[in-house]
Chain A
């Protein structure tokens, strides 16, 4: 009988281990490649409206929202807890694609009330939103504590980002 999997010693692992240990295809990528290039016409989002949460920083700001702008989306709705932080992202998206419409909204996605308010604003302008990217997330891991030592309130703060837990605070991915 096998026991529960042991946690590997991270420092002993090859630098590509995270990729290779979860590899499902022969070829793997760490950067943009032709087939997924948003400027490739086969990836056009022309006429489409998308909503991106956690859009003020990280992957949302640097990866996902710019890809939609490059793919020629009609409109990109940017959502972040702090709307002021979205100004720079909006500017960058307009620089990528001057025709893209941007709606930047401040909303804490852990608040059902704020989410409902944001969607009434979104739908007033864009009745048809084709794509939602649930990108917002937090990591409140207590990496220096064993499980029995962890603060339960902090433990549960990790569950803010996921769409089934719309009731706790969130910050941007």
Chain B
């Protein structure tokens, strides 16, 4: 899907007129949930795919992954529904999607990243510099890496 979209978009997309890909993911991607093993892995893959799309087309594409939280849809697992967690309205995710898609220049700082639709978008904008400079809202290996740390 993304590939066909890009093939059509790359001829016209430019740094001032970017194409946008928004992919739905889940917070299970960064949790560790054995009973949702394959589902959560597929959602983690979606986040990483978003990051690599953003890196592959930095001048022409805004790629963002969004977690809609819990919604009362047919795919919400009965075992979780039984717990009675609070739910979001589908309009919340619809609104955030439209907000992200309406102005690629406004969303640019979120390209390659993942956000939860519950998060306040004005606060995200206010934290733009911190998010970009610290490369927040991305999946990383949680470790200190590099040979420098072993230098005498």
A: residues with CB less than 8 A from B are: 4-5, 7, 10-11, 13, 15-19, 22-33, 35-38, 42-45, 48, 50-51, 53-54, 57-59, 62-68, 70-71, 109, 115-116, 118-119, 122-123, 127-135, 137-143, 146-147, 150, 155-166, 173
Contact of B97 among A7, A11, A63, A118 (CB under 8 A): A63
Can you show 8 pairs from A to B with CB atoms below 8 A apart? A27-B123, A28-B118, A43-B99, A43-B103, A109-B1, A119-B7, A158-B42, A164-B45
Q: Which residues of A contact B117 (CB under 8 A)?
A: 29
Number of contact residues on B: which range applies? Answer: 35 or more
Q: Which residues of B contact A58 (CB under 8 A)?
A: 71, 73-75, 90
Beta-carbon contact of B77 and A165 below 8 Å: no
CB distance from A44 to the nearest CB of B (A): 6
Contact of A173 among B1, B41, B75, B116 (CB under 8 A): B75
CB distance from B48 to the nearest CB of A (A): 9
Beta-carbon contact of A59 and B5 below 8 Å: no
Q: A7-B32, A131-B20, A163-B46 are in contact. Are A18 and B86 (CB under 8 A)?
A: yes
Beta-carbon contact of A131 and B19 below 8 Å: yes
Q: Which residues of A contact B94 (CB under 8 A)?
A: 32, 38, 59, 62-68
Beta-carbon contact of B49 and A133 below 8 Å: no
Contact of B86 among A19, A36, A119, A133 (CB under 8 A): A19
Known pairs A63-B68, A163-B1; list 5 more (Cβ under 8 Å).
A36-B99, A63-B97, A64-B90, A143-B35, A164-B46
Beta-carbon contact of B37 and A141 below 8 Å: yes
Beta-carbon contact of A51 and B5 below 8 Å: yes
Interface-centre pick from B97, B117, B137 (highest chain A CB count, 10 A): B97
B23 within 8 A of A: yes
Contact of A62 among B4, B19, B90 (CB under 8 A): B90
